[in-house]
């Protein structure tokens, strides 16, 4: 569900820019790029600003590898729904940026197309950090060691944050017959 929300928002923002492009293609592209880069910067600043500090009590319990992973994937770990929406939104804008970039080449707006294509590469890292399960899951299933290691670290961090065993309905009840 969060992916749908992010994708719909991305399409909506592109349609808004497309409305401006009806009158002036250059204006529409610039509005699209302003929206895409603006959201990327807002999400990036939010990610960096809310990154757990090394001095936090929970962070002091983690080893260096887990601490690095927690600081990198904290949005996905602490706010999974928001992370999925952010990742889907940025990814949809990334795909639509390729479309806008192609249209810019067709209209001979080469510098503007470079900005649209550059967004594709800039947004990738932040997308993976916000939803690592979706974007590294396939590689992990194929046995890629780096993806397996990252997802394993994330799983260990989640277990460390909630060490309580899962509660079953029959816990604490005694059978007296």
Beta-carbon contacts of residue 124 (< 8 Å; ≥ 6 apart): 94
Residue pair 36/101 in contact (Cβ under 8 Å)? The answer is no
**Domain locations in the chain as residue ranges:** 2-161
**For position 175, what pLDDT does the model report?**
47
**For position 147, what pLDDT does the model report?**
87
Closest residue by Cα to residue 18 from 90, 96, 107, 113: 96
**For position 174, what pLDDT does the model report?**
47
Beta-carbon contacts of residue 46 (< 8 Å; ≥ 6 apart): none
Task: List C-alpha distances in Å: 41 to 52, 66, 91, 129.
Answer: 19, 26, 14, 14
Residue pair 36/24 in contact (Cβ under 8 Å)? The answer is no
Closest residue by Cα to residue 72 from 59, 55, 85: 59
Region label for 172, one of left (φ > 0), alpha (ψ between -120 and 50) or beta (otherwise) = left
Q: What are phi and psi of 166, to 5 degrees?
A: -60, 140
pTM: 0.83
**For position 163, what pLDDT does the model report?**
67
Mean pLDDT in residue range 94-111: 94
Q: Is the pLDDT of residue 89 over 80?
A: yes
**For position 176, what pLDDT does the model report?**
46
């Amino acid at each position: 569900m969060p992916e749908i929300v992010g994708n719909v928002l991305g399409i909506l923002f592109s349609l808004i820019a497309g409305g401006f492009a009806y009158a002036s293609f250059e204006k529409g592209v610039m509005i699209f790029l302003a929206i895409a880069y603006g959201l990327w910067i807002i999400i990036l600043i939010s990610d960096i600003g809310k990154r757990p500090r090394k001095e936090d009590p929970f962070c002091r319990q983690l080893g260096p590898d887990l601490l690095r992973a927690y600081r990198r994937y904290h949005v996905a770990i602490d706010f999974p729904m928001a992370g999925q929406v952010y990742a889907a939104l940025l990814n949809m804008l990334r795909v639509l940026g390729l479309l806008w970039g192609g249209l810019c080449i067709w209209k001979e707006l080469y510098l503007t197309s470079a900005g649209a294509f550059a967004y594709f590469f800039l947004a990738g890292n932040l997308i993976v950090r916000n939803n690592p399960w979706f974007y590294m899951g396939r590689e992990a299933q194929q046995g890629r060691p780096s993806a397996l290691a990252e997802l394993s670290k994330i799983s260990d961090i989640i277990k460390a944050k909630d060490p309580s065993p899962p509660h079953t309905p029959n816990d604490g009840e005694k059978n007296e017959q």
